[in-house]
């Protein structure tokens, strides 16, 4: 049968297209399916309660007015291709980093915002999506593989041409064969290699989910701490302003007494030094406030042109009701760190089983369908097929599998040691926070009484000075005592609230 001209055209087209396909193959992107959902098999002796809610991975966006930032609501399209690379930019003009206005926010608002905007949480979510993709890859090992190939070539044989010249022959020197193969391969028995790999991937996914839960708790505690620090700086400024006012009043009174002839220059100098020291402390407090605001904005990826201010007033939170023993048990039961160590042990065991399974027999079946054609001879198209089975068995690997098992046994032992360490750390975190919370709670009442007593002492010191039976030093001392008592009151409230937050973090309930 002769090959028509259309077949020749098709063959020539293939010769042009195949190099283009080869060049473009380097640009083909690969993407995972973010919507992949799989029911995981339960793992023995491991009780997990992680927050498995996972949003779609964020992408980086940029604009002409601010640095590149994370858009938590962005999604990755399930197109089988990589998303276009976004341009990463940094500020280039002062207007891009200049603070334009302040925005009062409550602690609750920040906690709702931080899980969407914080970089650590976003990275943990991306890690969960990656673990899902790895699990999907492991699951793909249960499916048959299908492959195909197509080859076309155009050959002008120099050997045939030389033979024609030497022997007076007229054999055709041109050949342009076209061949194709379609093959199916299915692994029907692998001694448990794939099953162990899938179990390891499932446990790695659980580890990623537990890491996400741990990251959320750590970030929330960091935000609470930063917010309480900002409240502390706000109150410190109030106290320092009051100290400056008291020192200013004392200086004016001292100067009046000097002019009246009942005071001395020494008293005036003491008051001036006291006022200068109070102003210095006020400047330090104002600087600390600005730093605290920027630190809080940094942690939640707040817009660069907005400044955060604390909207909540300082007040003690509710008291922890559970006794310390029940709190410790709650922490041991809920801590993500303990779940992670358990799962790391299971992953090590699964990997050891995988290494041993590779020494066992591997059985697979295959089917190939072949086609070939020679355009130059006009012989038509030939087809054929091949069916078969294959047995692979590693009889000796030089001790490689045994060495891998020893590595994974060491990983298992490390996970067990780290589990015990995490359990002890969980208990210590509870005890430390519980003790500090009780102590701070008692300090609040004591500090409040001390403030009232210091205010009364200052009033009496000024009366004594006006009556001529007191000294300026007594007034200065009373002013310092009032400032210290007010600072202690604020520190007691902030310390109590911080200890309560640490206690909630210790039981993974923040």
**Alpha carbons 350 and 163: distance in angstroms, whole number:** 64
Quick one: pLDDT at residue 175? Answer: 81
Which is nearest to 432 in space by CA: 499, 493, 505, 504?
A: 499
Cβ proximity of 458 and 246 under 8 Å: yes
**Alpha carbons 390 and 362: distance in angstroms, whole number:** 8
**Average pLDDT of 251-277?**
89
Among the residues of 261-399, which ranges form H helices?
265-299, 324-334, 336-357
- How far, in Å, are 89, 142, 432 from residue 234 at the CA level? 34, 61, 27
Q: Give residue 174's region: left, alpha or beta (phi > 0; psi -120 to 50).
A: beta
Quick one: pLDDT at residue 478? Answer: 92
Quick one: pLDDT at residue 79? Answer: 52
Q: What is the DSSP string of 129-150?
A: HHHHHHHHHHHGGGS-EEEEEE
- Say which range, 13-17, 280-284, 427-431, has the weakest mean pLDDT: 13-17
State what percent of residues in the chain have pLDDT above 90: 56
Cβ proximity of 329 and 263 under 8 Å: no
Q: What values do phi and psi take at 83, rounded to 5?
A: -70, 150
Which is nearest to 114 in space by CA: 214, 224, 234, 211?
A: 224
Q: How confident is the model at residue 162 (pLDDT cuts 50, 70, 90)?
A: confident
Q: Is 24 exposed, middle or buried (0-12, 13-18, 19+ CB in 10 A)?
A: exposed
In a domain, 372, yes or no: no
- How far, in Å, are 29, 201, 204 from residue 128 at the CA level? 21, 11, 9
DSSP secondary-structure letter at 192? T
In a domain, 269, yes or no: yes
pLDDT tens for residues 302-343?
A: 777 778 899 999 999 998 999 999 999 999 999 999 999 999
Which is nearest to 84 in space by CA: 35, 29, 36?
A: 29
Quick one: pLDDT at residue 300? Answer: 84
Which is nearest to 76 in space by CA: 25, 39, 131, 126?
A: 126
Determine if the pTM surpasses 0.75: no
Q: Residue 246 is part of a domain; what is its CATH number?
A: 1.20.1600.10
In a domain, 259, yes or no: yes
Quick one: pLDDT at residue 117? Answer: 83
Quick one: pLDDT at residue 23? Answer: 38
Q: How confident is the model at residue 88 (pLDDT cuts 50, 70, 90)?
A: low
Among the residues of 140-174, which ranges form H helices?
158-167
**Alpha carbons 376 and 172: distance in angstroms, whole number:** 8
Q: How far is CA 182 from the centre of its chain?
A: 44
Task: Report the Cα–Cα distance between both ends of the chain, in Å, rounded.
Answer: 80
In a domain, 5, yes or no: no
In a domain, 218, yes or no: yes
- Domain housing 89: 31-100+109-143+190-359+394-506
In a domain, 468, yes or no: yes
Contacts of 28 by beta carbon, 8 Å cutoff, 6+ apart: 81
pLDDT tens for residues 17-32?
A: 333 333 333 333 333 3
Which is nearest to 200 in space by CA: 348, 300, 82?
A: 348
Cβ proximity of 186 and 144 under 8 Å: yes
Q: How confident is the model at residue 200 (pLDDT cuts 50, 70, 90)?
A: very high
Cβ proximity of 347 and 135 under 8 Å: no
In a domain, 154, yes or no: no
In a domain, 267, yes or no: yes
**Alpha carbons 94 and 65: distance in angstroms, whole number:** 10
Kindly compute the dihedral angle of the four CA atoms of residues 344, 350, 355, 359, in this order, to the nearest 10 degrees: 170
The number of domains in the chain is 1
- Say which range, 98-112, 229-243, 441-455, has the weakest mean pLDDT: 98-112
pLDDT tens for residues 283-304?
A: 999 999 999 999 998 888 877 7
**Alpha carbons 317 and 228: distance in angstroms, whole number:** 12
- More confident position, 260 or 288: 288
């Amino acid at each position: 049968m002769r090959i028509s001209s259309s077949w020749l055209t098709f063959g020539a087209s293939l010769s042009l297209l195949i190099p283009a396909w080869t060049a473009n193959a380097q640009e083909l992107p690969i993407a995972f399916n973010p919507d992949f959902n799989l029911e995981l098999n339960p793992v023995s002796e491991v009780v997990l309660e992680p927050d498995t809610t996972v949003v779609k991975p964020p992408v980086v966006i940029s604009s002409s007015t601010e640095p590149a930032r994370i858009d938590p609501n962005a999604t990755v399209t399930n197109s089988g291709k990589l998303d276009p690379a976004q341009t990463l930019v940094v500020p280039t003009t002062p207007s891009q980093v200049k603070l334009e206005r302040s925005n009062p926010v409550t602690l609750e608002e920040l906690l709702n915002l931080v899980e969407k905007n914080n970089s650590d949480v976003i990275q943990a979510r991306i890690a969960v999506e990656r673990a899902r993709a790895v699990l999907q890859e492991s699951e793909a090992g249960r499916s048959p593989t299908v492959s195909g190939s197509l080859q076309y070539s155009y050959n002008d044989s120099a050997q045939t041409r030389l033979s024609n010249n030497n022997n007076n022959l007229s054999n055709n020197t041109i050949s342009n064969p076209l061949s194709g193969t379609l093959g199916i391969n299915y692994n029907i028995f692998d001694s448990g290699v794939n099953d162990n790999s899938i179990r390891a991937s499932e446990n790695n996914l659980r580890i990623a989910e537990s890491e996400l839960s741990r990251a959320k708790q750590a970030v929330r505690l960091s935000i609470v701490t930063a917010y309480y620090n900002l409240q502390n700086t706000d109150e410190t400024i109030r106290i320092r302003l009051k100290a400056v006012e008291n020192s200013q009043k004392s200086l004016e009174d001292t100067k009046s007494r000097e002019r009246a002839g009942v005071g001395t220059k020494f008293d005036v100098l003491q008051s001036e030094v006291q006022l200068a020291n109070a102003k210095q402390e006020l400047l330090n407090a104002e600087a600390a406030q600005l730093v605290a605001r920027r630190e809080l904005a940094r942690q939640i990826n707040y817009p660069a042109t907005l400044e955060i201010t604390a909207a909540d007033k300082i007040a003690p939170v509710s008291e922890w009701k559970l006794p310390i023993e029940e709190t410790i048990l709650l922490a041991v039961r809920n801590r993500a760190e303990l779940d992670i160590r358990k799962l790391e042990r299971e992953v090590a065991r699964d990997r050891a089983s995988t290494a041993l399974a590779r020494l066992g027999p591997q059985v697979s079946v295959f089917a190939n369908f072949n086609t070939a054609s020679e355009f130059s001879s006009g012989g038509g198209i030939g087809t054929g097929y091949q069916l078969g089975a294959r047995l692979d068995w590693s009889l000796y690997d030089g001790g490689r599998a045994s060495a891998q098992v020893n590595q994974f046994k060491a990983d298992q032992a490390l996970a067990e040691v780290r589990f015990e360490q995490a359990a002890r750390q969980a208990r210590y975190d509870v005890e430390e926070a519980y003790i500090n919370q009780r102590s701070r709670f008692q300090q609040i009442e004591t500090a409040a009484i001390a403030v009232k007593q210091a205010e009364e002492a200052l009033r009496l010191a000024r009366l004594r000075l006006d009556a001529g039976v007191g000294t300026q030093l007594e007034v200065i001392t009373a002013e310092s005592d009032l400032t210290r008592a007010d600072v202690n009151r604020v520190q007691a409230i902030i310390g109590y609230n911080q200890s309560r937050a640490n206690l909630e973090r210790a039981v993974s309930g923040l």
